[in-house]
C-alpha cells in the first residue's frame, strides 16, 4: 500500500507551530527575512526586496500545490511567522518526499526553531504518512546547511553536478542527503534529546 499524500495540516511543537502557508503570512515573513541577502543566499530566487517580491515567491510555491505543500513556521513566543519550509517531490507510490525550500529569519538561527521544525516534519512524514524515504538537497557551497542536515542523522548520498542555475547566473552542484524509515527511530531520539537540552 503506498504512502499517503500530504494534505494541509497544522503540526504543533513546544516552540513553533507549522501551518499551511498563505499570503496572509507575507508581512511577518518579510519582517523576518525580507531583503536579507544572507537569508536568501542559497535559495533559487533573488532576495525579495519588497513585500510584493516575497508575495510573488510565495504565490509561486502555493501554485505548485498539490505537488508541494508549504508550511509557515510560527514562533509561539511571538505569534509571528519567522520562515517557511516545504514538502516537495512528493511520490507516495515510491514512499518518498523531500523537505526543502526552507528559510528562517536570522533572529531564529541557532535556536530550537529548525530542530523542532525538522522533528515535526519527519514525524509527520514517517509516522503519519508512511514514507520510507525523506530527502534533502542543498548547494555544494552551503556548508552550514550540509552540516545541519547531517546532524539530523541523514546520510550524504552524492552530488549532482551542474544541477541548478543560481540567480546570479552561476551553476550550482547539489548535494543529496536522505533518511530512511528504519533510520528514523534513532534520528528521532537524537533530535528529541537535542531539543530537550535546548
- Domains of the chain: total: 1
In a domain, 3, yes or no: no
- Rounded Cα distance between 160 and 176, Å, is 8
pLDDT recorded at residue 84: 98
Q: Are 21 and 62 in contact (CB under 8 A)?
A: yes
35-50 tens-digit pLDDT: 999 999 999 999 999 9
Residue 198 has pLDDT above 80, yes or no: no
In a domain, 95, yes or no: yes
- Rounded Cα distance between 169 and 44, Å, is 11
The grid coordinates listed for 5 are 499524500
145-195 tens-digit pLDDT: 999 999 999 999 999 999 999 999 999 999 999 999 999 999 999 999 999
* Percentage, residues of the chain above pLDDT 90: 94
Q: Are 85 and 71 in contact (CB under 8 A)?
A: yes
Q: Which domain holds residue 144?
A: 11-196
In a domain, 192, yes or no: yes
The grid coordinates listed for 76 are 509561539
Residue 29 has pLDDT above 90, yes or no: yes
In a domain, 6, yes or no: no
pLDDT recorded at residue 77: 95
Q: Is the dihedral of CA 38, 119, 72, 171 positive or negative?
A: positive
pLDDT recorded at residue 57: 97
In a domain, 29, yes or no: yes
In a domain, 185, yes or no: yes
In a domain, 100, yes or no: yes
In a domain, 2, yes or no: no
- Rounded Cα distance between 113 and 97, Å, is 21
Place 1 in a pLDDT band, splitting at 50, 70 and 90: confident
- Rounded Cα distance between 10 and 71, Å, is 8
Mean pLDDT (the chain, rounded) = 96
DSSP state letters, 93-140:
GGTEEEEEEEEE-GGGTTSHHHHHHHHHHHHIIIIIS--SEEEEEEET
Read off the CATH number of the domain in which 41 is found. Answer: 3.40.630.30
88-132 tens-digit pLDDT: 999 999 999 999 999 999 999 989 999 999 999 999 999 999 999
Q: Is 158 left (phi over 0), alpha (psi -120 to 50) or beta?
A: left
Amino acid at each position: 500500500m503506498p504512502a499517503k499524500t500530504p494534505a494541509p495540516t497544522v503540526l504543533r511543537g513546544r516552540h513553533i507551530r507549522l501551518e499551511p502557508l498563505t499570503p496572509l503570512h507575507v508581512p511577518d515573513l518579510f519582517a523576518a527575512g525580507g531583503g536579507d541577502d544572507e537569508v536568501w543566499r542559497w535559495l533559487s530566487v533573488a532576495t525579495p526586496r519588497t513585500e510584493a517580491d516575497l508575495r510573488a515567491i510565495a504565490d509561486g510555491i502555493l501554485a505548485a500545490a498539490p505537488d508541494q505543500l508549504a508550511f509557515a513556521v510560527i514562533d509561539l513566543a511571538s505569534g509571528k511567522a519567522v520562515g517557511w519550509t516545504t514538502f516537495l517531490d512528493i511520490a507516495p507510490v515510491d514512499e518518498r518526499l523531500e523537505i526543502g525550500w526552507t528559510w528562517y529569519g536570522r533572529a531564529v538561527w541557532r535556536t530550537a526553531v529548525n530542530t523542532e521544525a525538522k522533528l515535526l516534519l519527519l514525524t509527520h512524514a514517517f509516522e503519519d504518512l508512511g514514507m520510507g524515504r525523506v530527502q534533502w538537497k542543498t548547494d555544494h557551497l552551503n556548508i552550514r546547511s550540509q552540516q545541519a542536515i547531517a546532524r539530523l542523522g541523514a546520510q550524504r548520498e552524492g552530488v549532482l553536478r551542474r544541477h541548478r542555475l543560481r540567480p546570479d547566473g552561476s551553476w550550482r552542484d547539489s548535494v543529496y542527503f536522505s533518511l530512511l524509515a528504519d533510520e528514523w527511530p534513532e534520528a528521532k531520539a537524537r533530535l528529541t534529546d537535542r531539543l530537550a537540552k535546548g
